[in-house]
Structures are given as C-alpha cells and as structure tokens.
C-alpha cells in the first residue's frame, strides 16, 4: 500500500492547526477568568500590608520592614510559610467536612467578585440582578463555617461556627434592606446601572448624600459580615481560643485568612459602587479626557482610568474598617444580636419605607 | 446562559448528577449532619440549573432563601441533636418505611406518566410567543414584578399577610 507522503503531512499539519486553534479558544476563555483572580489576590496582599502598616502606626510600632521595600512582601512570605506547614487533622473529627469547609468559605466569596464593575465595560457579568447575586452568594459562606466548626470535633470550634452563622444571618437582613433602597433609588439592581445613576452631579450625585442612614447601616453590617473587630465574636480569642479556626493549620488556616480579607475587599468595593459613585471621577470641572486630549471612545485609556479611580476610592475607604479594628473594643454576644435585631433592622426598615415613599411621591 | 451546545449538555449532566447524588445522599446517609449538608448540595445544584436556563432572579432567590436561610437553619437544628444515639439502631424495614416507599413510588410513577403525556413543543412555542409579545426590553426581574402586581396580586398579598403574622408570632415567642 502506497501512501502519498506529502498529502499525509498536509493532513497532519491541518489537524495540528485545528488543534492549536481549539487550544487558543480555550486559553482565550480562561484568560478573562484567571486575570481577575490574579488581580484579586494582589488586592488582598495589598490589604494585608495596609493593615499591618496602619496598625503599626496606630500602636506606635514600626511594622513590617525586612521583607522587600517597606515590607510589601510580608504577606507573600506569610502565605508561603503557611503553604509549607503540615496539615494536621484533629483526631475523631469528620475529615471530609473539615477539608471542604474552608474551600466553601473562599469560593462563595470569590464568585461574588463577578458582578463588581471596575468600568462601564470592565465587568465579568452585567446581570440585571447584580447586587442581589452578591447578597445571595454571600449567604452560602456560613455553611462552610458551620462545616468546619462541626468537623473539628472541638467545642470551641463548634461554638465559633454557630456564632458565625448566627451573626451573618442576622446582619444580612439590614444589609439587604440597604441594598434594596439603593436599587429603588436607581431603578435597577444591576451594578453598572447603579453607578451610572450616580454619575450626574459629580461629587454631590453620590448615593452617600441621598442615603446617609443607609450608608452607616451598610458600613456596620458589612463589618459584621466580614467578622472584623468590633464584631469578631466567632473567633474571640479570650472566650473561644480562635473559634472555628482553632484546629486548623497550614494552608487551610490560610484559606480562612484569605476569605476574611477577600470579604473585606468585596464589601468595600460594593461600598464604592453603591454609595461612592463607582468609577466616576466625581470632581466637577475636571475632565480627564479633555486634559489629556484623548478620544474617549478609543483604546484602553478609559477603562484604565476608571479602574484606577474605583480602586483608589476602595482603598481610601478601607482606612475606615482598618482603623476601626484597631480602635474599638469587641462587643458581647447578646449586645451584638441586640444591635442587629433591635436597632439596625428597624432603622433600615424605616429607611426603606422613607425611600419608597419619596420615590412614590416623585413619580 | 447562552453557552455552546456541548458545554451546555456537559453542565446539565453534571448538575443533574449532583442533584440525584445529593438527593440519594439525603435519604441514605446515616449521619443526619451529612444528610443536611447533601440537602444543601441539592439546593445549590437546583439554583445552578436555573442559572443555566437563563432565569437569574429565581436562581438568586433560591440561593438566598433555600440555601442561605432554610438549609442553614436545618443544619443548626440537626447539630443540636445528639446524633450518635440516633443512628445506632437503624432499622431500614419498618411499617412506616414501607408505607413511605409506597407513596414515593406512586408519586414517581405519576410524575413519569404526566411528563411523557405532555406535549412539550406546544408549551415551548407558546412561551416563546409570550416572550416576543412581552418584548425583550423589560428585564426578567421587572417582568416578575409586573406579574406579581397584576396577575398574582391576591396571592402575593395573602402571602405577605401570612409572613407578617408569622413574624409577629416569632417576636412574641422570643420575648417570653
């Protein structure tokens, strides 16, 4: 049997070309997924560094200084140390639940980054339920905490997990009501529409001025959702050793650490989007595009500027949670639940009622 | 989500497997904690199925209500039970179990016969026509709002009154 060799080679090269094309297709679908993950990780490292530096400033210490210039690589060093540490499983604990718990906590927070807009076109998915998706997904995280608390076979962990679930359930309701009044004001719950509704009057068009009560409630309940210090009862050191993280070591402990900072970053991004005008420059009489004389519709310049503005607002806002953490003492558990159910919930309901009636009268 | 065919089918099979395995796990697992967590798996895969069929609002509501609230409460309740005694003397074949098996198989057979009897193409075409009539400019959640405040106004009000009564009842129980 004689086969014409050049023809076979042609076919081979053609199939290889097809294969390459498919690989390129897969790579092009994966790049938009992995770039935000990389960016978010860098953002978390920046927050950890900021927290160390600011806390050092507040307590009149020096803070990290050896790892890299100004200690910027300190978080990376901590992370790699955690990666190399031994994974210890508690005796007679439920190993499966113990392993799945931290990953559920991280994944549920990572997914909610998909609706955060960095520019009018720089958003993973522009759903018409945008903010609602964030609320829904962040309600899964307590399941992971309950899992890890139960799987550790430790009373302290179990109590910590129960406390975390109770806290995040009770503070989610005022948070949702605040988001609901914002979406009433901008007639949409898509994050892109919410930012565009605030773009009219520059600095004075922010939702912060139209919803001052809502902003304060959102701030308090997002701190409680992130389990940051005035509300860090699930891991209160004096009572519960370390709460649901007591038995964890190595990278699983690191995952909890990452999850709390991811949650902090996403909630301050949502503060920026919902209350602080998102990607708009917000200073009247300064038009960046006239200044640089660059066509607005062309190129990557506009998304870059928008992303820079969003991130600048977010990190400036982050100073408030971080300084709060190192200033205020911790609440007691009954004080926490009383604050949530008897104070924040009625006030946010009243805020929603006021917003609804003003929207009705303005029709 | 408008995905290309093979990926859509793959996700459908994957989520369906999660649904079925989770459902079997709820029934068959000995430890009630594991049953509660696999109920969570079932609810999450139902909501992902909703996302796959382009109804994001229902998916988010499913996640928020069933996974975030109801399943967490179930897990709470199960965790406070003293689980170890519960599944030591576990007998699979009692009279009650046989009765439940009978009811479940009859419901299953009924569902199968109804599913095969319905002409699905007719339903698909009527919904497509309705979608064209209700023009695409209005988003999905707005359509839900319009329907709730026109066609389903009475049930909506009834449900809100029932919820209000339950809320007040919960407050009075909690204050004692």
- Name the DSSP letter for residue A245: G
| Mutation target vs B (from A137, A143, A151; most B CBs, 10 A cutoff) | A143
The answer on pLDDT for A162 being more than 60 is yes
pLDDT band at A117 (very low <50, low <70, confident <90, very high): confident
Query: pLDDT > 70: what percent of chain A?
Result: 89
Three-state secondary structure of A107-125: HHHHHHHHHCCCCCCCCCC
What's the rounded Cα separation, in Å, for the pair A138 and A124?
18
Last residue of a domain, one of B83, B103, B122: B83
Find the residue in B nearest to A189 (Cα). B141
Predicted confidence (pLDDT) per residue in A262-299, tens digit: 999 999 999 998 888 878 776 665 555 555 555 555 56
Is the sign of the CA dihedral B59, B61, B62, B67 positive or negative? positive
Q: How many CA atoms lie within 13 A of A318 on its CB side?
A: 28
pLDDT in tens, B89-131: 566 667 788 888 899 899 999 999 998 888 777 777 777 777 6
CA distances from B65 to A62, A300, B32, B36, B73 (A): 47, 41, 21, 15, 11
- For chain B, the straight-line distance linking the first and the last C-alpha, in angstroms and rounded, comes to 49
A45: closest CA of chain B, how far (Å): 29
In a domain, B107, yes or no: no
Q: What is the pLDDT of residue B157?
A: 92
pLDDT of residue B87: 56
Using the 3D structure, point to which of B31, B66, B83 is the last residue of a domain. B83
Residues B6 and B55 in one domain: yes
Nearest CA in chain B to A169: B69
pLDDT band at A1 (very low <50, low <70, confident <90, very high): very low
- Judgement on whether residues B62 and B120 belong to the same structural domain of the protein: no
B76 touches chain A (CB under 8 A): yes
Instruction: Give dist(CA A65, CA A47) in Å, integer.
Output: 16
- CB of B54 within 8 Å of a chain A CB? The answer is no
Q: Say yes or no: B12 and B55 in one domain.
A: yes
User: Shortest CB distance from A128 goes to which of B59, B63, B141?
Assistant: B141
Query: What ipTM does this complex have?
Result: 0.77
Provide the pLDDT confidence category of residue B137 given band limits of 50, 70 and 90: low
Which of chain A's residues have a Cβ under 8 Å away from the Cβ of B140?
Answer: 128-129
List of chain A residues whose C-beta atoms are within 8 Å of the C-beta of residue B75: 143, 146, 165
Q: Hey, where are the domains in chain A?
A: 1-83, 94-360
Rg of chain B on CA atoms, in Å: 21
The residue written with tokens 């990290």 in the block is A64
What's the domain count of chain B? 2
Mutate: best of B36, B75, B138, B143, partner A, most A CBs <10 A? B75
- Is B95 part of any domain? no
pLDDT for residue B102: 92
Residues 6 or more apart whose CB falls under 8 angstroms from that of B162 comprise: none
Task: Judge whether A163 and A101 are in contact, CB under 8 Å.
Answer: no
Question: pLDDT by residue (tens digit) across A311-359?
Answer: 888 999 999 988 988 888 888 888 888 888 888 888 998 999 999 998 8
Chain B residue with the nearest C-alpha to that of A94: B34
Domain that holds residue B3: 1-83
Residues B67 and B117 in one domain: no
What SS3 class is residue A86? coil
Residues B15 and B58 in one domain: yes
Residue B149 neighbours by CB distance under 10 Å: 10
pLDDT digits (tens, 9 = 90+) for A27-59: 777 787 788 888 888 888 888 888 888 888 888
Q: Is residue B102 assigned to a domain?
A: no
* Global confidence as pTM: 0.82
Same domain, B73 and B130: no
Same domain? For B71 and B3 the reply is: yes
Pick the last residue of a domain from B83, B104, B126.
Answer: B83
Q: Do A165 and B33 touch (CB under 8 A)?
A: no
Reference A47, options A258, A357, A217; nearest CA is: A258
CATH number of the structural domain spanning residue B71: 1.20.120.1200
Question: Is residue B123 in some structural domain?
Answer: yes
B119 and B79 part of one domain: no
């Amino acid at each position: 049997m004689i086969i014409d060799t050049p023809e076979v080679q042609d076919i081979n090269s053609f199939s290889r070309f097809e294969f390459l094309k498919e690989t390129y297709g897969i790579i092009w679908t994966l790049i938009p997924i992995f770039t935000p993950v990389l960016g978010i990780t860098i953002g978390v490292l920046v927050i950890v560094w900021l927290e160390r530096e600011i806390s050092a400033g507040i307590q009149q210490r020096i803070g990290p200084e050896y790892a890299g210039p100004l200690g910027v690589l300190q978080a990376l060093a901590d992370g790699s140390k955690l990666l190399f540490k031994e994974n210890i499983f508690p005796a007679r604990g439920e190993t499966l639940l113990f392993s799945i718990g931290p990953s559920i906590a991280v994944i549920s927070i990572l997914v909610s980054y998909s609706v955060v807009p960095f520019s009018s076109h720089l958003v993973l998915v522009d759903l018409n339920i945008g903010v609602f998706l964030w609320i829904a997904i962040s309600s899964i995280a307590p399941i992971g905490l309950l899992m890890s608390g139960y799987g550790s076979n430790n009373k302290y962990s179990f109590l910590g997990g129960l406390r975390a679930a109770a806290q995040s359930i009770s503070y989610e309701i005022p948070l949702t009501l605040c988001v609901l009044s914002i979406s009433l004001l901008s007639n949409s719950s898509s994050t892109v529409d919410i930012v565009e509704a605030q773009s009219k009057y520059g600095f004075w068009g922010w939702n912060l001025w139209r919803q001052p009560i809502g902003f304060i409630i959102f701030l308090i309940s997002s701190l409680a959702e992130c389990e940051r210090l005035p509300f860090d009862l699930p891991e209160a050191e004096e009572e519960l050793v370390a709460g649901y993280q007591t038995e964890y070591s190595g990278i699983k402990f690191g995952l909890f650490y990452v999850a709390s900072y991811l949650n902090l970053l996403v909630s301050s991004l949502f503060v920026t989007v919902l209350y602080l005008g998102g990607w708009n420059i917000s200073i009247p009489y300064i038009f960046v595009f006239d200044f640089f004389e660059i066509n607005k519709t062309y190129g990557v310049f506009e998304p870059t500027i928008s992303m820079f503005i969003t991130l600048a607002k977010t990190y400036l806002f982050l100073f408030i949670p971080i300084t709060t953490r190192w200033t205020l003492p911790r609440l007691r558990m009954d004080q926490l639940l009383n604050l949530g159910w008897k104070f924040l919930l009625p006030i946010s309901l009243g805020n929603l009622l006021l917003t609804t009636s003003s929207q009705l009268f303005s029709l | 989500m408008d995905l290309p065919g093979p990926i859509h089918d793959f996700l459908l099979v994957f989520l369906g497997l999660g649904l079925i395995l989770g459902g079997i796990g709820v029934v068959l697992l000995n430890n009630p904690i594991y049953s509660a967590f696999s109920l969570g798996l079932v609810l999450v895969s139902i909501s992902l199925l909703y996302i796959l069929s382009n109804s994001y609002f229902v998916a988010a509501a499913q996640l928020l209500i069933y996974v975030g609230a109801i399943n967490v409460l179930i897990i709470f309740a199960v965790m406070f039970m003293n689980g170890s005694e519960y599944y030591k003397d576990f007998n699979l074949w009692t009279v009650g179990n046989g009765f439940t098996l009978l009811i479940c198989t009859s419901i299953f057979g009924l569902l199968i016969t109804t599913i095969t009897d319905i002409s699905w193409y007719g339903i698909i075409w009527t919904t497509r026509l309705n979608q064209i009539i209700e023009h695409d400019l209005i988003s999905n959640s707005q359509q839900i709002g319009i329907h709730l405040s026109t066609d389903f106004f009475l049930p909506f009000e009834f449900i809100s009154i029932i919820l209000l009564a339950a809320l007040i009842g919960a407050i009075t129980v909690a204050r004692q």
